[in-house]
Chains A and B, each alone.
Chain A
Amino acid sequence: MTKENGFSVIGKALPKPDAVSKVTGRAIYADDMLPARTLHCRILRSPHPHARILSIDTSAARRMPGVHAVITGADLPIKFGILPVTQDERALEHEKVRYVGDPIAAIAAVDEEIAAAACDAISVEYEVLEPVMSIDEALAESKDERIQDYGGPNNIHKLVALEFGDVDGGFEKADHIREDVLFFQGNTHLPMEQHSAIATFVDGRVTLWSSTQVVHYVHRALAKVLELPMNRIRVIGAAHGGGFGGKTDPFAHEIIVCKLAMLTGRPVKCTLTREEVFYAHRGRHPVLMWVRSGVTRDGRITAMHFKTALDGGAYGSYGVASTFYTGALQTVTYDIPAYRFEGCRVFTNKPPCGPKRGHGTPQPRFAMELHLEKIAHDLGIDPVDLKQRNFVKPMTRTVNWLRVTSCGLDECTERVMTASGYRIRERRRGRGMGFAISSYLSGAGTAIYWNDMPHSEVQIKVDRGGVTAYCGAMDIGQGSDSVLAAIVAEELGLQPRDIRLVTADTDTTPIDLGSYSSRVTFMAGNAALQAARKMRGMLVDAVEAKMGGAEAVRVGAGRIGDFTFEEASILAEARFGTLTSAGSYTPPKIAGPFKGSGVGPSPAYSYSACVVDLDADPRTGIVHVNKVWIAHDVGRAINPLLVEGQVEGSIYMGLGEALMEEQAFRKGLHKWPSMLEYKSPTFMDTPEVETFIVETVDPEGPYGAKEAGQGPLLPVIPAVSSAVFDALGVWIDEIPVTPEKIVEALRRKQKGQPARYGPERFPSIPYPACIKVEPPPRDLDTNAAAASI
């Protein structure tokens, strides 16, 4: 049973506990639920990007046969939002709409057809305002009025300015200084499952089943907006049809179905249409970036100055955090001795942006990787060498106070270099390879709302019927249930199939903050480990007492000492009474001593390196990706099958973003809110990939594990753009890299203009004076670090 690594479950490629229910169609997603007497909800949305609502007349809708309830903003006036500092959303707006798709009224009717027709029967009188549709427009004075009544000046939402170390001095020491301006267009998650929620109201209690990544945050938002105590609300995560960060906010439709259930006394369901999913959005921010770096002759970075401007859409969402993230993680891959970051998020009349896989970091990662490639070309150094010379070292602190523990950058790089043959690649016009690296958090070190409680909690119950583990963690397809089962099974000497799981139910499970920021394996994993070790202790104690303590009690293969697991559990229950144990995980307090230091710290960072091989046709600009190699430092693969799945999925999503996905707007509207026109790569567009799992065994992760779900997306995007340069000698400084941009860059090159396609300038932004932060001691005191763990 025991593998070479000394574990019997950890490190094994086992199927997921819910695999059979998913391959047989038996998993119940929110839209699959249809209890008797269910009413169907449709939402009337704004046709204007920016308008004041003068009046709403719902009388015709109310009169329609089959309509049971009609609600507007007056019925749900309390504002909510994911971040405590930006409580700026309403489930239904009755004063002002801020993007095409902003919800205005909701109908509960006996069927969806009637609900849709009733929406069409509502009359809304608007005072139309000038829309703000770009970063430049948002920075200028509003023609009519500002989108939100906070932030500023103009439509600026958030400004940040931080400086670590002596940046001016660093630039003075440089032999070469380079500036680049780059743009990353916004894109969206496009989960295959459209958001869906169904609520009941029975015995004065609301129950909501939803396709959400964050049952706990939805629970909190419901309590606030519905003005009910949390103990009267239950939120259950239904089987989940894909999130990628798109289901990480509390959403209007979740609140609306609860309210309608309370009003009608019947179950109420709302499933968004695909078009509405594009309006719910919270996807990748479009980010304009300016970066200036100083380097020595041999390519060592002496200083970096990074500026970002994020097009945030109409509401706050995670935007404040997103803004900080565009400046936070530059330092965890490259050793930057002095670093200045200025960030700005603006409001525009578009669906709000938020966290998508890599939250706020793929954009600067793209900019920085390309920027360093260009510096390498300036200096005549191989870009891989230049990057490698600047790699951070394990057990160090970055200039902006981030604690790096395990780091497999060198090994990752070596693996993809060898496998791809990058260094000996064929040099031929039209064929190219690109290399890039990245890093991502294994969970955020600070909670979304400030508190001292654990971020994840697990309870385990053992009795004659077996083992049950309870945890609020939500499996969104990434396999968090597998991780919980594997860890509990490993500790108790069982197999994952022996563990019953109860997850993501606010009535029955202890709190886990949710499936976002790649936190579940690390945090729920550590909580499960702690709970399981306590349970194991009780079982071993009971067995030891019975065996007389002569020899050490071995746990494994379904046995505890001389007894079967079931016999041992009977001994332990007889000795201790009801067998329950609990474990929790609180990240170490490692944030730096400055305002804004809460975004960026993580108990551990994953690392990836990637090579993309592609053909780029100089005549058409059409890119064909031949192969992608990626090596990912996951610390320890609890289940290598699932790690590979996360890595491969990340590559796919990265390629989509790099080459074709675009959340574009025209005339105030989303240009193409459909799965036909929003281009998600098909089977035909996706290359073969080769994945290498690198294990650095992190000191703090459960069995050494770190994240795998987001980091591997990041290097794919710059690697594509680098490979295009390798193939054709033009820089595409704007994502996505489309054929027309390549053709245009080649045309410019031919005319003797700069051989690039991308933004010309970075706007003037009224950033405040930088908060100057003294850097920490750069080497991590290993003993102190170990003590803090």
Chain B
Amino acid sequence: MLRLPRFKYLRPKTAREAAHMATELGSRAMFVAGGTDLFPKLKRRQFEVDALIGLDFLSRDIRPGTNETELGAGVTLSAASAHEQLNKQLSGYAEAAGLVSSPPLRNAGTIGGNLCVDTRCNYYDMTYEWRKAIGFCMKKDGDICLVAPGSPRCWAVSSSDTGPMAMALEGLVTLAGAGGERELPVAALYRDDGIDYMAKQPSEVVTGLRLPHIEGNHSAYVKLRRRGSIDFPIAGAAVALQMDGDVVRSCRIVLSAVASHPLEARAADEFLTGKTLDDETVRAVAEIAAKPAKPLDNTDLTHFWRKRMVRVVVEQAIVLAATRSGGSTVKLLGQQKR
């Protein structure tokens, strides 16, 4: 059977202590919370570390307040997806959490972990022996990108479901470093690079997420994947809408799995603001949102098809969010089957 490499397991009691340890050990240590992303990658030797820093101390509380809901980074994905208040107030987020992988993984995987999930590529998420056979890529052990061999950068795909949704909901993430805490918009957590995909310091621990309750905000997440479970997204749309009747007061659309970071569709947001939602507008805005998406041939199914599907998931997510606002007359354009 595939086994983990040898490592030491450190058990800090606080985030600050964890950050200290990480600062001291540098790239030879990694954090582990649920482990659902880390352990498979360690078994495939995609990471080489001497030590793991356990984040068992992370809060597992979901605290709904009047102006916001605060989630500890240790909240499991299944807890988030089942949380009643979250489903009511921030339905897109609960939905995204519930669409991550499969039930047993959601019981272990945390919301903090899903924000930080490693970028993926089907030349990279393979065993050591497989990668050796095809020739190592630049994300681990090699020099070139096997998806785009002429490219100077890595094109691994951002595969978080909850990250894009937290961005669309204008969430704030709390980071704890050796020097103290700071807070960032979730959007500022990511960078458009397959290797250095996180903008936070490697030693900083994600300790929590705050999702504001914006009046009239309705959200939805639509995930495209081959099967009804287990699979990572191969395209996805996170949409948050504030509606005045049928008119869009404001809108945030963020795409998943079509770039090395969650892709904000700013032009689409602007286009939609102030418009009345009807079939034509939805089609038009989806077209605009999909434009910057450039899927490459490094996930399941062809990138041509995925590119076409971005429009569809955006449309579906907008319609779903609008339907949740209750005021819309838009009909669903094509139902996402299970």
Contact = CB atoms under 8 A, between A and B. Distances in A.
Do A's and B's CB atoms come within 8 Å in the complex?
yes
A699 interface: no
A684 B98 CA distance: 14
A47 B135 CA distance: 9
Interface string A643-684: 000000000000000001000000111111110110101111
Interface stretch (B24-32, B213-221, B227-235): B227-235
Contact of B2 (A273, A619, A740, A743): A273
A639 interface: no
B8 interface: no
A211 B134 CA distance: 30
A100 B230 contact: no
B312 A620 contact: yes
B130 A681 contact: no
Contacts of A273: 1-2, 127
A743 B334 CA distance: 15
A624 B232 CA distance: 19
A684 B122 contact: no
Interface in B1-28: 1-3
Given A273-B2, A617-B334, A740 B304 contact: yes
A381 to B, nearest CB: 33
A48 interface: yes
Interface-central residue, A116, A667, A676, by most chain B CB under 10 Å: A676
Interface in A523-577: none
Contacts of A48: 133
Contacts of A669: 130, 133-134
A619 B134 contact: no
Interface in A37-96: 45-48
Interface in A733-775: 738-740, 743
B181 interface: no
B334 A112 contact: no
Contact of A739 (B2, B301, B334): B301
A399 to B, nearest CB: 42
Contact of A676 (B2, B3, B230): B230
Contacts of A676: 125, 230-232
B309 interface: yes
A681 B227 contact: yes
Interface in B236-267: none
A46 to B, nearest CB: 8
Contact of B133 (A47, A113, A674): A47
A60 B180 CA distance: 49
A112 B3 contact: yes
Interface-central residue, B133, B228, B301, by most chain A CB under 10 Å: B133
A709 interface: no
Nearest to B316: A620
Given A100-B133, A112-B1, A615-B337, A677 B300 contact: yes
B308 interface: yes
B132 to A, nearest CB: 6
Contacts of A620: 309, 312, 334
Interface in B281-338: 300-302, 304-305, 308-309, 312, 334, 337-338
A172 interface: no
B63 interface: no
Contacts of A112: 1, 3
Contacts of B337: 615, 617, 622, 624
Given A112-B1, A273-B2, A615-B337, A743 B305 contact: yes
Given A47-B129, A273-B1, A671 B227 contact: no
Give the top 3 A-B pairs by smallest Cβ distance, nearest first. Answer: A684-B228, A47-B133, A740-B305
15 contacts: A47-B129, A48-B133, A275-B129, A615-B337, A621-B305, A624-B337, A660-B227, A669-B134, A676-B125, A676-B232, A677-B122, A681-B227, A682-B102, A682-B230, A740-B302
Interface of A: 45-48, 100, 112-113, 116, 194, 271, 273-275, 615, 617, 619-622, 624, 660, 667-674, 676-677, 679, 681-685, 738-740, 743
